[in-house]
Amino acid sequence: LPVAQSVRIAYYGLHLRFDLVGHSVSGFVIVRCAREPRPRDAVWLDLDSTMHVDSALIDGHRTTVTHVGPRLGVVLPTGESPSPPTVAIHYHGIPSGDALVFERHADQPVISSYGLPYSARAWWPCLDSPAAKADSADIEINAPATLVVASNGRFVSRHENLDGTATTLWSVRYPIYADVIAVAISNYDSFTLVYHPGHADSLAMPFFVFPEDIDKARQDFGVLPAMLASFVTRFGPYPFMGEKYGVVEMAQHSFREHQTVPGYGPQLITGDHHNDWILAHELAHQWFGNALTVRNWSHVWLNEGFATYASLLWREQTTGEADYLAAARAWMVPETYAGALYVPDSGNVDEMFTHVTFRKGALVLHMLRHVMGDSAFFRALRHYVLANMYRTVTTDSFERAAEDIYGRPLDWFFQEWVYHGGAPEYDVSEWTSLHDQRGYHVAIAIRQGQEASVFRMPLDVLLTTRTGSARAVVLDSLRVQRFTVDAPDSVTAVSIDPDGWVIKASVRPAEHVHTGL
């Protein structure tokens, strides 16, 4: 799946018609290159073999194509050309899989796309890599005039044709990658809320839902202007202020962060805010995934871990810190933390959307927040967004942004939590309360019992004393490490990380120690 050719996309123009009877897509897509491709014998795009190319043009002249498997080579004329090529591909076919489906709801049609990695090629020719962000795009859809077409960016126009169809144009003037270009077509009912960030600015928040779900949707989506305002304080200004933030009900029973218009499955609209955490997750993807896009899918945690963490932040804001901490602790199970966040094979989609990516990804941000402190951590998030706005990112981009604010290296943290799996297992059963002429202290031995290599982490220590309690922080980095901590009184109990800021394995029972054969 790697992109062998070096080519940059300036613009995509999708001009498509969907056949409700034959479940097929037909039309043409314009791909304008930002520079000459190298090598320059052809422009190589991605298009599934279930799609059939009818003709192709380069700068208005017919040319030939090579369509091998999911790769489509549009042959360029020999010799120099005055400007980077513009390709037009006329095609038709029946999309396979879940990437674009023809379904029904309440006896009405619904056609919707679902942009998982490497899925755009199932219904339109594109450079199907998150690294290939186009500077802009237009999506022009012809569909029966009884239906509403929702897509990315700003609504431009809709006109009815003599044949009973209508043509709807949406336009995107922010960088966008292929998988998050989306269409959703049905007999939508819609309503619009408005987000006011202050002054004269405002952002339309249009929602497209099946008529039978409109009342429940008004309830559920009513939270979004406040949620958006909350995330702006955490992540910085909404990246697509010139367009919109909407949600569209799609046929697929899932959810996906299509740029400015996430798809939201019918079962998620409940009318009782049951899935606000998903609304938070998809909204956060507009910063983490769309404005900042992973350069390749090995770094998928920068999308999913951040979006999942945003849903924890929303929980913290609405139900309090104790609930936030409890939710984080509940995810500290081996299924979540056993693996590494970094996915070495960027083509292995099955490895990308696991509890490790989503929940460990979120917990790594939770831990980093505690390492850096609240003020520095949230400044780092905003700095990361601002420094990389509309561009592609890797884990290094985030590490650099965090270090810029923290002022100290964080490589140790990213190494142990992003590039490696496992978790520390702390045994703090060995401690002694001391009293001498300098006052009360406690001598503590912290043992790391996990088989994986030793973790370095700052740890909160809670001392329970005869008259109250006290806290300290120690930097633990050895298999067995001894600390002496001042105490206000005689210590009666010692516990490590009492609030759950560090992913920990539970301590194994003492009888696991082997004494030879």
Binding site for Zn ion (CB under 5 A): 304, 307
Q: Which is nearer to Zn ion, 392 or 448 (CB)?
A: 392
Q: How far is the CB of 375 from Zn ion (least distance, A)?
A: 27
Q: How far is the CB of 455 from Zn ion (least distance, A)?
A: 28
Cα 243 from Cα 246, distance rounded (Å): 10
Q: How far is the CB of 281 from Zn ion (least distance, A)?
A: 5
Cα 170 from Cα 191, distance rounded (Å): 18
Cα 175 from Cα 114, distance rounded (Å): 19
Q: How far is the CB of 303 from Zn ion (least distance, A)?
A: 6
Q: Which is nearer to Zn ion, 26 or 290 (CB)?
A: 290
Closest CA to 300 of 390, 152, 418, 415: 418
Cα 116 from Cα 257, distance rounded (Å): 9
Q: Which is nearer to Zn ion, 183 or 352 (CB)?
A: 352
Cα 268 from Cα 254, distance rounded (Å): 8
Q: What is the DSSP string of 280-343?
A: HHHHHTTTBTTTBEESSGGGTHHHHHHHHHHHHHHHHHHH-HHHHHHHHHHT-SHHHHSS-SS-
Q: How far is the CB of 283 from Zn ion (least distance, A)?
A: 11
Letter for the amino acid at 402? A
Radius of gyration of the chain (CA): 27
Q: How far is the CB of 282 from Zn ion (least distance, A)?
A: 7
Angle at 15 between CA 9 and CA 21, to 5 degrees: 135
Q: What is the DSSP string of 354-380?
A: SHIIIIIHHHHHHHHHHHH-HHHHHHH
Name the strand (E) or helix (H) holding 217.
Answer: helix 214-221
Are 108 and 144 in contact, with CB atoms under 8 Å apart?
no
Q: How far is the CB of 75 from Zn ion (least distance, A)?
A: 38
Q: Which is nearer to Zn ion, 304 or 476 (CB)?
A: 304
What six digits make up the tokens of 382? Answer: 């905003």
Q: Which is nearer to Zn ion, 230 or 286 (CB)?
A: 286
Q: How far is the CB of 53 from Zn ion (least distance, A)?
A: 32
- Residue nearest Zn ion by beta-carbon distance: 307
Closest CA to 148 of 134, 158, 156: 158
Q: Which is nearer to Zn ion, 353 or 419 (CB)?
A: 353
Q: Which is nearer to Zn ion, 304 or 399 (CB)?
A: 304
Cα 233 from Cα 231, distance rounded (Å): 5
Q: How far is the CB of 289 from Zn ion (least distance, A)?
A: 7
Q: Which is nearer to Zn ion, 76 or 363 (CB)?
A: 363
Q: Which is nearer to Zn ion, 138 or 304 (CB)?
A: 304
